[in-house]
Amino acid sequence: MNPVDIQSALHPAGPQAAHIAWLWWLMLSVCAAVFVIVLAAMGVAVYRGRHHTGPPADEAAMRRAVSLATGATVVILIALLFASVWTGRAIAALGSPTPLDVEVTAAQWWWQVEYAAPQPSNRVTTANEIHLPIGRVVRVLLKSTDVIHSFWIPNLHGKVDLIPGRGNVIWLRADTAGTYRGQCAEFCGIQHAHMALTVIVEPEPQFEAWLVKERRAAEAPQTPEQQRGRDLVAHGSCALCHSVQGDGPSAHLGPDLTHFASRPTIAAGELENTPENLAAWLADPQRIKVGSRMPATGLRGDDLQAVVAYLEQLK
């Protein structure tokens, strides 16, 4: 898909975005028509005024014309109102007794995504990526731990705010497989520009497979270097904020790292997830994403390499 279109309201990948796009094209055509007509009227009026000779215009006739135009305006507005309300209903109509429940929690400046499950052990927690099965209705619970953010995946639906102290809900359905991009749409502080969310829409089987993989504990380190990395993560400064299911640390201030390596991006969409980028990020996060909550770890040389090696095998 053309990069421009992975975050576009005009390239719907789900029913709601499609309804809204339809409303957009309707309104655009109506408004364009109105624009042309009014400007034409103005042009004609000026021309007529400048070149007209003979008796002055008939005020009564003009009064009739103005009332007529006003009437037309009202009619058009009522039509558009109905179109808008109808679209609203169509969007709200999407629902399901057995939706897939996803809980999205926004924090400055990243997204935590949790997939609900009957037994707690099966809950899946990831960050800055959201996987959606094609054609399945999803109910997304929206929460915020600090300030107001806004959850927006243009290709799927409009935006809904995540407001501290108030839970919001948004219903989604993705119909076209592909990778899309969501982004925080409410100004939320210094790194508002770098708070993106990768949306992966895939067929049900792939999605289920992904869930199963995500439920597993973290991959055990293989090489001695990865071993060392594991120890550094488990006993170094990482452990104060991050968690790695299994034998790793379990703090929840920052993103869960259990399956870090399988994620497309680092730092909420700012960097592609490659070993080089990861090394750069760990070495000096504040150079890459100034103001982010990730502090300078002080990791250098071999330590840095070891941590990168460990994290990059957490498939």
* Binding positions for other proteins, 99-158, rule CB under 8 A: 108, 146-148, 150, 152, 154, 157-158
Task: Give every CB contact of residue 131 below 8 A, 6+ residues apart in sequence.
Answer: 200, 201, 202, 207, 210, 211
Task: Give every CB contact of residue 113 below 8 A, 6+ residues apart in sequence.
Answer: 102, 103, 104, 125, 126, 127, 128, 129, 130, 197
Q: Closest distance between other proteins and the C-beta of residue 136, in Å?
A: 22
Which residues inside 223-282 make contact with other proteins, applying CB under 8 A? 236-237, 239-241, 253, 269-270
The nearer residue to other proteins, 203 or 298, going by C-beta atoms, is 298
**Cβ–Cβ under 8 Å, residues 106 and 185:** no
Distance CA 68, CA 75 (A): 11
Note whether 217 binds other proteins by CB under 8 A. no
The nearer residue to other proteins, 219 or 249, going by C-beta atoms, is 249
State which of residues 123, 136, 139, 192 lies at the interface with other proteins (CB under 8 A).
192
Which residues inside 286-315 make contact with other proteins, applying CB under 8 A? 286-287, 290-291, 295-298
**Cβ–Cβ under 8 Å, residues 197 and 129:** yes
State which of residues 3, 54, 97, 205 lies at the interface with other proteins (CB under 8 A).
3
**Cβ–Cβ under 8 Å, residues 129 and 200:** yes
Q: Which of 188, 209, 168, 207 lies closest to 268, judged by CA?
A: 188
Which residues inside 47-106 make contact with other proteins, applying CB under 8 A? 48-50, 56-57, 59, 62-63, 65-66, 69-70, 73-74, 77, 80-81, 83-85, 87-89, 91-92
The nearer residue to other proteins, 29 or 122, going by C-beta atoms, is 29
State which of residues 174, 184, 268, 304 lies at the interface with other proteins (CB under 8 A).
184
